[in-house]
Amino acid sequence: MSESLTTTIEPAEVAQFAAIAAEWWKPDGKFAQLHKINPARIGYIRCRAVEHFGLDDAKIAPFGGLKLLDIGCGGGLIAEPMARLGFDVTGIDAAEAGLDIAAVHADAGGLNIDYRVSTVEALAAERRGQPGFDVVLALEVVEHVADPALFLDSVAELVKPGGLVVLSTINRTAKALALAKFGAEYVLGWVPPGTHDWRKFLKPSEVARPLRRAGLNVLDVTGLSLDLKTGGWRTSRQLDINYMLSAEKF
């Protein structure tokens, strides 16, 4: 594990997301693709968590009594549906502007979500010796951090034994470079230019190895693919661009 950095924060990345914080809840805004991919992400999280904890999938809110941490929560696009599914949700982000938007939106929807300006490593240090979270989410975050090894170590520290980690990111492949980087940013304009650095994309094995070293067992890796007919996203066996990974703490 890297010891050269003491923070996961990449200041330029934080500033970039802070500058467009007002766009978080605009379905046709700069985060439009996150709105479109959200149903597939929520479905995956729900399916994996129901199975992992042996809960009743027929319930509208099956996760009552379970604590969930959403790392890099931004404006709350995942934190809010997780709260509606019954989780006790904490959301952290390094960009305060996004959390301000998130708090106002959650309040308007009658949701009680604990939003905090923090980094994953700071929260891990703060909570050391305390019980971990039942579920820890890190969705579209690891490709934006300064030190992925420190990030994944901290993620592992924050989940309790028997708990579940769900992570999503972009694979470092030629196809991802063409479509997720150049296509999405410069051709289709789905995200602002410069949002991603292809060199920071991680292959599934590069996520799995440090998680295993930190005491987690990888349970599943599933792809996320764009349906060209509907414009929506779905889970798939194709891992060469976007993928989601779930792992259990020993």
Domain ranges of the chain: 11-249
- Residue-level pLDDT at 3: 41
pLDDT tens digits, residue range 204-234? 999 999 999 999 999 999 999 988 888 889 9
The whole-chain average pLDDT of the chain stands at 93
β-strand partners of 64: none
User: For residues 148 and 142, is the Cβ–Cβ distance under 8 A?
Assistant: yes
- Residue-level pLDDT at 187: 55
Residue 115 clears pLDDT 90, i.e. is over it: yes
Residue 185 clears pLDDT 70, i.e. is over it: no
Categorize the per-residue pLDDT at 2 as very low, low, confident or very high, splitting at 50, 70 and 90: very low
Locate tokens 């769900």: which residue? 166
- Residue-level pLDDT at 188: 63
Residue 1 clears pLDDT 70, i.e. is over it: no
Query: What is the spatial distance between Cα 140 and Cα 138, in angstroms, rounded to a whole number?
Result: 7
Poorest-pLDDT segment among 9-23, 120-134, 178-192: 178-192
Residue 244 clears pLDDT 80, i.e. is over it: yes
Query: Rounded to the nearest 10 degrees, what angle do helices 148-158 and 204-213 cross at?
Result: 50
The tokens for 62 are 């099956």
Residue 117 clears pLDDT 60, i.e. is over it: yes
Residue 102 clears pLDDT 90, i.e. is over it: yes
Residue 78 clears pLDDT 90, i.e. is over it: yes
Tell me the CATH architecture of domain 11-249.
Answer: 3-Layer(aba) Sandwich (3.40)
